[in-house]
Amino acid sequence: MTTSQQTSKELANALVIGLVSVSDRASGGVYEDKGIPALQDWLAAALTTPFRVETRLIPDERGQIEQALAELVDVQRCHLVLTTGGTGPARRDVTPEATLAVGTKEMPGFGEQMRQVSLAFVPTAILSRQVAVIRETEDHAALIMNLPGQPKAIKETLEGLKDADGKVLVNGVFAAVPYCIDLIGGPYMETDPAVTKAWRPKNAQRPAPASA
């Protein structure tokens, strides 16, 4: 294989993550969006696998949310899409409905665990309606997952609940994401265990790369 062929193959297999912030006011320029920067910072700290991101800032309009999610998976070939905002009970909160509409398989465990983690911090976590789905096309698949709108809540649900010594008391949802991406045919994702430890069964684990 030539160097150019190898580079093309690496690019084709590179991890691509879509980040979607859903907010009428942030998309309208009323205030600065905080969701996408929070997600970018967290992913940069958590992932040791190289990745690139595709970002979208859109209003609370179901049609626009559906269009953005489908385009990120079908055209941009994202393997993981994370949304933030629009998951509460308010009339304009329609992110879960849009997510379910573009999915081919629902993954209810992610939403259940996010609420479980958040309940350790605030009782209003029961008002959150986050969902997760797999969107499949003929030759590609991606995990789409709704996250809360606040940066602090985003970090908590992804990382989980830890004690003062850093021991995990309640697992965050991201621990299961890398193996989910494996199962749908995506690239092998590795994480910094100090932030979040990716869990895989032993037969799915790869040896750590040899040091130079």
Structural domain contains residue 69? yes
**Considering the domain boundaries, does residue 151 fall inside one?**
yes
Torsion 134-188-117-39 (CA) sign: negative
**Strands 168-171, 132-136: parallel, antiparallel or unpaired by DSSP?**
unpaired
Domain assignment of residue 5, yes or no: no
**pLDDT category, 25, cuts 50, 70, 90?**
confident
d(CA 32, CA 37): 10
Residue 92's Cβ-side half-sphere holds a number of Cα atoms within 13 Å equal to 10
Q: Is residue 7 part of a domain?
A: no
Q: Which range of residues forms the domain containing residue 171?
A: 12-204
CATH number for the domain spanning 26: value is 3.40.980.10
143 lies in some domain: yes
Is 147 inside a domain boundary? yes
- Between CA 69 and CA 162 the distance in angstroms is 32
> Is residue 6 situated within a structural domain?
no
What is the amino acid identity at position 80?
A: L
Name the domain count of the chain: 1
* pLDDT of 7: 42
Q: What is the pTM of this model?
A: 0.91
pLDDT digits over 142-176, tens only? 999 999 989 999 999 999 988 888 788 888 999 99
Pick from 87, 158, 78, 173: which is nearest to 124 by CA?
87
